[in-house]
């Protein structure tokens, strides 16, 4: 009798794990999946934003469940291309393996809805903006409506908009939102002061009563995109300047630095550098920039144009170039004495170039944004400190022109004076590159997407001598 009882107990214990496993609840959208989508995906996947469908409700998500499973299991979505352990990047979009497993299990279980009482409240966003805390911008400034032709090369457009306030303004965050993403190649917005003899017409074009000083805003060299007090193009070489806000494909969130750090807007106007890409249909664009004003004291600010950064040196396929070179624009708009780096030969699947960026003044590096065009393959940033020690800042083994993400450090990095930032980049101009429009032709350096560009953009700040408490701007108004 005792033996039978013992055997019965053994059988019960043996089957207990299977019974418990069978009773493990399946993931549901309300309890398990919605929190992931709201935290990781809703910023882009919501009505009116860049993503092709909304993920804000179960009814939105359910038709896409199997496609979502494939995208997250292969780590195609959310898009993220920089290496680095979890915690390195403040804006890291990557899902954890546990989150991926939960989504896969949910889809495999039939994508159940679950109990609505478990559904978390959806995140709140200002419509059309992805700024701090979901708040709308304090100031919105619009560029004039621009016409985009159906075909042909599109030169950079320069338009000026008068600032809607007087005096210095300190900006905690900024975001550029194109009106027509499909037609926009890039936008760069800078603060500037126009010459006393300048006027701006209804289309934002500047007209001068007399010739301005060489190199000043509005001079031929400046309008051509040369290095000047007001930089232009996709970025300043090295990417360090005063106030600037920008947009390129994949950048759909506000740029912010954090507490105690701000950019100063000083001047009379905002300069919008607009570059369009013909797509076969004549269209228009009306780009906006949103500003979130700094309300607390400012201890650090972005460095001024040309301050803190020495002249870059290029090394192409192991050979250092002597003289002044750029990998930003075509030769026809360069001032005398500056040349473009050698072209990328047809069929070259591993064109290699290095830029050495000398740091002349101590600064704190907050973010990195690699920029190339369709042949871009990879980019790696390394610091070489004055004592010879090297540190990898970022490795981007697979560049994607369609997702040009600003990678923000969770812990900003101090770069002492005398540091060299070495940026190694590679391009694939062969038929193996599925994005390559013309693998049988040499590639020039220039502004169009079918040209190439090397912009190792960095965003850094310097410590102010004394903290500044921003004053309330005078006559702030929104231009919507």
CATH number of the domain enclosing 433: 2.60.120.230
Residues 253 and 346 in one domain: no
Does residue 243 contact residue 191 with C-beta atoms inside 8 Å?
yes
pLDDT at site 185? 84
Residues 242 and 293 in one domain: yes
Residues 72 and 178 in one domain: no
Final residue in a domain of this structure, among 305, 330, 365: 305
Determine, yes or no, domain membership for 123.
Answer: no
Determine, yes or no, domain membership for 473.
Answer: no
Q: Which of 417, 418, 400, 399 is nearest to 463 (CA)?
A: 417
Give the single-character DSSP code of 89: B
pLDDT at site 248? 85
Residues 152 and 299 in one domain: yes
pLDDT at site 333? 72
Residues 216 and 349 in one domain: no
Q: In sequence order, what are the residues at sequence separation of 6 or more whose Cβ sits closer than 8 angstroms to the Cβ of residue 127?
A: 48, 136
Residues 274 and 157 in one domain: yes
pLDDT at site 8? 37
Determine, yes or no, domain membership for 475.
Answer: no
Final residue in a domain of this structure, among 118, 142, 165: 118
Residues 299 and 342 in one domain: no
Q: Which of 36, 43, 39 is nearest to 103 (CA)?
A: 36
pLDDT at site 160? 94
Determine, yes or no, domain membership for 388.
Answer: yes
Final residue in a domain of this structure, among 88, 118, 148: 118
* Total domains in the fold of the chain: 3
pLDDT at site 280? 84
Determine, yes or no, domain membership for 478.
Answer: no
Residues 137 and 283 in one domain: yes
- The domain of 138 spans 132-305
| Number of C-beta neighbours around residue 480 at 10 A | 9
Residues 328 and 449 in one domain: yes
Rounded (5°) CA angle 63-66-68: 90
Helix (H, G, I), strand (E, B) or coil at 367: strand
Q: What is the dihedral of CA 97, 100, 106, 108, to 10 degrees?
A: -100
**What pTM was computed for the model?**
0.76
Residues 333 and 226 in one domain: no
Q: In sequence order, what are the residues at sequence separation of 6 or more whose Cβ sits closer than 8 angstroms to the Cβ of residue 155?
A: 447
Residues 330 and 456 in one domain: yes
CA distance 68 to 473: 46
pLDDT at site 74? 95
Residues of the chain predicted below pLDDT 50: 1-16, 18-21, 211-241, 304-307, 477-480
Residues 70 and 159 in one domain: no
């Amino acid at each position: 009798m005792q033996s039978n009882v013992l055997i019965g107990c053994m059988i019960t214990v043996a089957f207990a794990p299977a019974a418990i496993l069978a009773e493990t609840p399946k993931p549901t959208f309300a309890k398990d999946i919605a929190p992931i989508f709201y935290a990781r995906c809703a910023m882009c996947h919501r009505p009116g934003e860049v993503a092709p469908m909304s993920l804000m409700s179960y009814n939105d998500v359910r038709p896409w469940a199997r496609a979502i499973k494939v995208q997250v299991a292969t780590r195609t979505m959310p898009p993220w291309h920089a290496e680095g352990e979890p915690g390195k990047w403040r804006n890291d979009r990557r899902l954890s393996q546990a989150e991926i497993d939960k989504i896969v299990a949910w889809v495999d279980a039939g994508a159940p809805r679950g109990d609505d009482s478990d559904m978390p409240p959806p995140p709140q966003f200002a419509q059309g903006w992805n700024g701090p805390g979901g708040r709308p911008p304090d100031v919105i400034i619009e560029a004039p409506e621009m016409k985009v032709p159906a075909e042909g090369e599109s030169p950079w457009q320069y338009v000026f908009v008068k600032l809607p306030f007087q005096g210095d303004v300190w900006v905690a965050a900024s975001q550029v939102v194109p009106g027509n993403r499909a037609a926009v190649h890039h936008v760069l917005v800078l603060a500037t002061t126009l010459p006393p003899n300048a006027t701006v017409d209804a289309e934002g074009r500047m007209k001068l009563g007399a010739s301005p000083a060489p190199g000043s805003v509005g001079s031929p060299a400046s309008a051509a995109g040369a290095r000047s007090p007001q930089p232009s193009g996709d970025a300043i070489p090295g990417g360090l300047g005063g106030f600037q806000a920008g947009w390129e494909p994949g950048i759909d969130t506000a740029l912010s630095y954090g507490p105690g750090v701000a950019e100063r807007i000083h001047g009379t106007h905002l300069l919008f550098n607009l570059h369009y890409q013909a797509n076969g249909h004549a269209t228009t664009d009306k780009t906006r920039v949103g500003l979130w004003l700094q309300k607390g004291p400012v201890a650090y600010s972005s460095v001024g144009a040309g301050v803190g950064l020495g002249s870059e040196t290029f090394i192409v396929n192991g050979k250092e170039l002597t003289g002044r070179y750029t990998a930003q624009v075509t030769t026809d708009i360069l001032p005398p004495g500056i040349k473009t780096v050698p072209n990328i030969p047809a069929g070259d699947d591993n064109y290699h170039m290095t830029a050495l960026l000398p740091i002349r003044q101590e600064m704190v590096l907050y973010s990195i944004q690699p920029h190339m065009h369709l042949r871009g393959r990879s980019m790696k940033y390394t610091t070489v400190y004055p004592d010879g020690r090297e540190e990898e800042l970022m490795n981007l083994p697979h560049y994607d022109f369609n997702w040009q993400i600003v990678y923000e450090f969770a812990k900003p990095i101090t770069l002492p004076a005398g540091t060299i930032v070495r940026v190694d980049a590679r391009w694939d101009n062969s038929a193996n590159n599925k994005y390559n429009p013309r693998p049988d032709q040499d590639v020039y350096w220039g502004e169009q997407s079918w040209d190439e560009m090397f912009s190792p953009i960095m965003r850094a700040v310097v410590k102010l001598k004394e903290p500044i408490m921003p004053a309330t701007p005078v006559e702030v108004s929104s231009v919507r």
